[in-house]
Amino acid sequence: MAVKDLVAMLDIDIARKSPLLAEFLAKSGAGQRFSPMDGQEAKCAVITPSAVYLSPISLATLRRRLEAGYTDPQAAAGGDAGAEGEE
């Protein structure tokens, strides 16, 4: 995913405590695609214009990777069209 496609990243625990954010996440499931979690607990929701991705990676870790220009090795090898570090 390219950084330009990132709308928001939300901590799941905080989102669940907010009635508005909890409602958004619940309703976005009807028209948005959720990424498979393979049985792992979601720690963060990554929101793009076309999808809501649930991630087992914490918001703090995702933020650090974004700030450091982290690129997924699979994406760099041609596995994904865009890398997180792109702008």
Predicted structure pTM score: 0.66
Q: Is residue 27 part of a domain?
A: yes
Name the residue range of residue 12's domain: 3-76
Could you tell me which of 60, 65, 48, 63 has the C-alpha nearest to residue 1?
48
Q: Is residue 83 part of a domain?
A: no
What DSSP state is assigned to residue 4?
G
Other CB atoms within a 10 A radius of the CB of residue 85 amount to 16
Give per-residue pLDDT as tens, 4-51: 888 999 998 898 899 998 888 888 763 445 555 667 788 888 888 888
Residue 81 has pLDDT above 90, yes or no: no
Number of domains in the chain: 1
E strand residue ranges, the chain? 8-11, 44-47, 52-55
Q: Is residue 85 part of a domain?
A: no
Query: Residue 80 — very low, low, confident or very high, per pLDDT cuts 50/70/90?
Result: very low
Q: Is residue 23 part of a domain?
A: yes
Q: Is residue 86 part of a domain?
A: no
User: Is residue 69 within 8 Å of residue 85, measured between CB atoms?
Assistant: yes
Stated as kind and residue range, the H or E segment containing 59 is helix 59-68
